[in-house]
């Protein structure tokens, strides 16, 4: 006879809240939301998904986005404004295709938009563009950031004013091709299971926010015994979409596990890590990719993320937000998203 069905998990308050969350905008498809609070208002810097006509493939070529829109809102639950095109791939002199997940920061009176895009040789690099307004339009620097590579830039500015650029993503994000320090287009997407997994990269940004102040370092993510996570540990190892937030003096590094579709996090004592794996932030959403950001606003913490509720297609996503709760021991309440 058939085995009994496993008991359903008991919903937590966070679960219930999450079921209620709806796409923040439905006029365009959006993904990879990087949220920030500038002048008390929430600004979201997402990817802008489009139906590109490119055939779906493992290297993500069908994620062929061409511009960015900035979204904003006064508070979570309030009306969301789509501010229109903030940067177009045609206006980035060195870019060829695939504007992937961006991030932004404010410093020295300017807003900086960081973005990954493939250059004329189809190598992902990170670029930066500036504006006097958080909603753009942004003007791209003529060259990519020297020393940058791969995808998914995320900027974290610490309480001492220092800013750090985190980045990287394996498979279509090409991080494995930089393992030796030199670009190798023949590198296999996966390392052998028993090797140490590739970590995201970090470098402090110079005061001009347009260049790296130091050589790029690899971030170490450790297990409960202090050993680096292995490549075969696919439910915990880094894949893409890194984010950093600080909570009660600790640095929380969160990221996507890619082909196991989780958002997980690790905690450390300084921006460079090492970070110790803690657990799941968000269980798999509807769709293949999962990508997020975390902010505090008006005394509450929020997780911005995406799923494919509006389209049912992996490359036409919609951004959402839900509350993120930290427990008294600093761990976060795991979130169970809506799935069809």
Binding residues for ligand FUB, rule: CB under 6 A, are 31-32, 47, 63, 100-101, 151-152, 169, 240-241, 289, 291
**What strands lie across the sheet with 263-268, from one edge to the other?**
221-222, 275-282, 263-268, 250-256, 240-247
Q: Which of 49, 240, 307, 336 is catalytic?
A: 240
Cβ-contact 96, 73 below 8 angstroms: no
**Phi and psi of 14, rounded to 5°?**
-65, -35
Cβ-contact 72, 39 below 8 angstroms: no
Cβ-contact 109, 207 below 8 angstroms: no
Coil, strand, or helix at residue 14?
A: helix
Cβ of residue 132: shortest distance to ligand FUB, in angstroms?
27
Q: Is 240 a catalytic residue?
A: yes
Q: Among residues 69 and 291, whose Cβ is nearest to ligand FUB?
A: 291
Q: Among residues 31 and 335, whose Cβ is nearest to ligand FUB?
A: 31
What distance in Å separates the CA atoms of residue 236 and residue 193, rounded to the nearest whole number? 13
What distance in Å separates the CA atoms of residue 50 and residue 29, rounded to the nearest whole number? 7
Q: Is 193 a catalytic residue?
A: no
Q: Among residues 60 and 134, whose Cβ is nearest to ligand FUB?
A: 60
Cβ of residue 241: shortest distance to ligand FUB, in angstroms?
4
> Residue 264 is inside which H or E element, if any?
strand 263-268
Cβ of residue 181: shortest distance to ligand FUB, in angstroms?
22
Tell me which residue of 272, 306, 321 sits closest to 63, measured CA to CA: 306
Q: Which of 32, 49, 152, 307 is catalytic?
A: 32
Cβ of residue 221: shortest distance to ligand FUB, in angstroms?
17
Q: Among residues 101 and 128, whose Cβ is nearest to ligand FUB?
A: 101
What distance in Å separates the CA atoms of residue 87 and residue 229, rounded to the nearest whole number? 37
Q: Among residues 47 and 286, whose Cβ is nearest to ligand FUB?
A: 47
Cβ of residue 121: shortest distance to ligand FUB, in angstroms?
19
Coil, strand, or helix at residue 179?
A: coil
Please list the active-site residues: 32, 240
């Amino acid at each position: 006879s058939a085995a009994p069905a496993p008991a359903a998990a008991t919903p937590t308050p966070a679960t219930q809240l999450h079921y209620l969350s709806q796409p923040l905008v439905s006029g365009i498809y959006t993904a990879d939301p990087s949220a920030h609070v500038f002048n008390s208002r929430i600004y979201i810097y997402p990817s802008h998904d489009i139906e590109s006509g490119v055939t779906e493939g493992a290297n993500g070529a069908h994620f062929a986005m061409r511009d960015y829109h900035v979204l904003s809102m006064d508070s979570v639950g309030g009306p969301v404004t789509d501010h229109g095109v903030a940067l177009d791939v045609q206006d980035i002199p060195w870019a060829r295709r695939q504007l992937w997940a961006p991030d932004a920061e404010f410093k020295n009176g300017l807003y900086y938009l960081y973005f990954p895009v493939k250059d004329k040789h189809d190598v992902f690099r990170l670029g930066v563009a500036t504006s006097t307004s958080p909603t753009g339009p942004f003007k791209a620097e003529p060259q990519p950031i020297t020393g940058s590579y791969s995808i998914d830039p995320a900027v974290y500015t610490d309480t001492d004013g220092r800013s750090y650029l985190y980045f990287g993503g394996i498979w279509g994000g090409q991080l494995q091709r930089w393992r030796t320090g030199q670009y190798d287009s023949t590198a296999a997407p996966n390392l052998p299971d028993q090797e140490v997994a590739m970590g995201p990269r970090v470098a402090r940004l110079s005061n001009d926010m347009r260049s790296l102040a130091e050589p790029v370092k690899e971030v170490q993510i450790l297990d409960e015994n202090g050993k680096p996570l292995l490549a075969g540990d696919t439910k915990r190892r880094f894949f893409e979409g890194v984010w950093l937030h600080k909570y009660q003096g600790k640095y929380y590094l969160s990221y996507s596990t890619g082909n196991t579709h989780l958002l997980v996090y690790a905690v450390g004592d300084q921006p460079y890590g090492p970070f110790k794996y803690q657990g799941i932030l968000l269980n798999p959403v509807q769709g293949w990719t999962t990508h997020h950001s975390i902010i505090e606003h008006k005394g509450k913490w929020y997780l911005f993320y995406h799923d494919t509720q509006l389209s049912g297609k992996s490359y036409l996503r919609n951004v959402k937000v839900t509350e993120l709760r930290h427990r008294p021991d600093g761990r976060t309440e795991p979130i169970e998203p809506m799935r069809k």
